[in-house]
A = this chain, B = another copy of it.
Amino acid sequence: MDQIFRLVVSCPDKVGIVSMVSNLIARHSGSIREANQHSDFADNWFFMRYEITSDTKKFDVNGFRKEFSESAQPFEMTWRLVNSAEKKKVVLMATKEAHCLADLLHRWHSEDMQFDLECVISNHKHLEDMVNWYKVPYYHVPVSAEDKQEAFDQTRKIIADHNADVIVLARYMQIIPPELCREYFGRLINIHHSFLPSFVGAKPYQQAYDRGVKLIGATCHYVTEELDAGPIIEQDVVRVTHRVRQNDMVRLGRDVEKIVLSRGLRYHLEDRVLVHGNKTVVFV
């Protein structure tokens, strides 16, 4: 199979973008095999994702990249060109609950999802055995009220040492310090166990139970400094009835959390998510 490159662009909306981009691709022997575009009229902003393969001649990536970086400037484009064959480096963080971590480990191991799993960081030892079976490094970094700064310094170092492209909070129940949120903005993904903006913060299932809602949900979002308020990537819900007690809610919720996190992460890994302000464009 031929190599596929993903060109992801966002910029102020203007006449001539598509024409400029498609000409440049054609000139460097690229062929557009999948295309998504979106114009946000409220904001006058343009979003694009192209999958580019080779034409009859091989796509001249370097030539294209060089010329495109010049042509992109007058359009004030934010862009990246990604070789889909180069897997992103992922760090998973978890606490005690296994379901999201186990799901992602299995998807990685069975090649259901394509990424390099660098390591797992946890503030507990509960999941170490499971992770060991997959032969993935496991860092136990306890976090307590008094040593939080130290714990996150250590965490940050591990992430940096592994050159992580993406950090996934797979039910990691600690609040991430602001500087880490800023440093990894757009690459730090959380799964929140409620249908945001309902039930922000701790114990969302308890809150949902007390309110008597008829559906519970989960939200995959980028982490920002404001708790549970970052750009939403994906959400889904499941029906609950009066028969569903809190324990059952937690259990039913786990299945939605897994699905929503894996969908959100997949979109991110495939460069389908473009962040704009506090919202996302997701090309699926």
Contacts and interface: CB of A to CB of B under 8 A. Distances in A.
Contact of A35 (B35, B254, B278, B282): B35
A26 B16 CA distance: 6
A215 B217 contact: yes
A159 B47 CA distance: 43
A62 to B, nearest CB: 20
A18 interface: yes
Nearest to A55: B15
Contact of A212 (B217, B231, B245, B254): B231
Contact of A31 (B15, B42, B236, B251): B15
Interface stretch (A63-71, A98-106, A170-178, A180-188): A98-106
A49 to B, nearest CB: 11
A15 B2 CA distance: 15
How many copies of the polypeptide does the oligomer hold?
Answer: 4
Nearest to A112: B251
A198 interface: yes
A34 to B, nearest CB: 6
Interface in A200-243: 211-215, 217, 231-237, 241-243
Contacts of A84: none
Nearest to A54: B15
Contacts of A211: 196-197, 232, 278
A253 B231 CA distance: 22
A198 B212 CA distance: 13
Given A32-B37, A212-B231, A214-B232, A22 B15 contact: no
